[in-house]
């Protein structure tokens, strides 16, 4: 009940944030403008739209998760609005979880709006619905939830600017970690291999959540890929949120 109240308030606050609308408009414009590329290409028009559309959903989602996520806790402390909230019978873990759910809901609504835009455009081009895109959207959403949890984790102990830098680093390293490890295995020395292995244990391999190529080109993913990816994402999500709760529980709200 209390978590729901905090989540709903975080959602309300995000909905009133102009940055959200700017990013959403940017994403829809990006999806819409892919029509121009379609005219320049020969064959595979709808695939270009789908590819670009999934990219736009992911990019804009990442920007929302990072830039709204890093302010979720720190802004409450800076504005001193947190005093009247935490003076209620709420434990700190509930606050973190409520904030996470609030931004998760904001992202869900945004991803849904962008997905409807993309599916509608694909329908206009192909004359049919493209449900094969939905697993890609689902995993992109899980990746966004992971980044939201990372943003909350960092913002629990550092400034919003540093939190944004750290969260974007998680995104970049997470997307490249698989390639880096493969490169280190093939060409690197013992040091690089150890570094790549160490990083792969700490950072989530976010490339696992990017299946847009397979979805757009209808490539087989292998049975159990999506449930396994969901489990993998869930495990990291629990880890990030537990760390955020543990840090926030020891913090003085000065």
Tell me which residues touch another protein (CB under 8 A). 1-2, 5-6, 9, 12-13, 16, 79-81, 83-91, 250, 252-254
CB of 89 to another protein, least distance (A): 4
C-alpha closest to that of 120 among 19, 59, 39, 34 = 34
C-alpha closest to that of 225 among 245, 210, 235, 240 = 210
* 65: phi then psi, degrees, rounded to nearest 5: -60, -40
C-alpha closest to that of 156 among 86, 239, 77, 103 = 77
CB of 84 to another protein, least distance (A): 6
CB of 13 to another protein, least distance (A): 7
Residue labelled with tokens 């709903």: 8
Residue among 25 and 253 whose Cβ is closer to another protein: 253
CB of 248 to another protein, least distance (A): 12
> Which pair of structure tokens corresponds to residue 200?
């792969």
What whole-number distance in Å separates Cα of residue 238 and Cα of residue 243? 8
CB of 83 to another protein, least distance (A): 4
Residue among 38 and 82 whose Cβ is closer to another protein: 82
End-to-end CA distance of the chain: 27
234 to 10, 64, 129, 247: CA distances (angstroms): 22, 20, 29, 20
Residue among 92 and 175 whose Cβ is closer to another protein: 92
Residue among 80 and 217 whose Cβ is closer to another protein: 80
Residue among 2 and 193 whose Cβ is closer to another protein: 2
């Amino acid at each position: 009940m209390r978590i729901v109240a905090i989540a709903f308030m975080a959602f309300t606050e995000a909905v009133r944030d102009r940055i959200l609308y700017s990013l959403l408009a940017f994403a829809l414009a990006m999806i819409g403008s892919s029509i121009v590329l379609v005219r320049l290409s020969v064959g595979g028009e709808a695939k270009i739209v789908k590819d670009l559309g999934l990219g736009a959903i992911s990019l804009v989602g990442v920007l929302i998760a990072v830039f709204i996520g890093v302010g979720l806790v720190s802004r409450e402390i800076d504005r001193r609005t947190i005093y009247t909230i935490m003076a209620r019978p709420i434990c700190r873990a509930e606050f973190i979880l409520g904030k996470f759910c609030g931004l998760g809901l904001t992202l869900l609504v945004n991803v849904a709006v962008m997905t409807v835009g993309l599916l509608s455009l694909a329908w206009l081009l192909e004359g049919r619905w493209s449900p094969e895109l939905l697993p890609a959207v689902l995993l992109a959403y899980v990746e966004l939830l992971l980044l939201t949890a990372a943003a909350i984790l960092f913002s629990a102990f550092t400034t919003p600017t540093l939190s944004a830098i750290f969260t974007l680093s998680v995104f970049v390293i997470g997307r490249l970690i698989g390639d880096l490890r493969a490169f280190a295995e093939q060409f690197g020395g013992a040091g690089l291999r150890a570094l790549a292995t160490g990083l792969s244990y700490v950072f989530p391999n976010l490339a696992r959540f990017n299946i847009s190529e397979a979805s757009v080109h209808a490539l087989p993913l292998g049975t159990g890929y999506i449930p396994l990816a969901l489990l993998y994402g869930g495990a990291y999500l629990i880890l990030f949120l537990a760390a955020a709760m543990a840090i926030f529980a020891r913090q003085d709200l000065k």
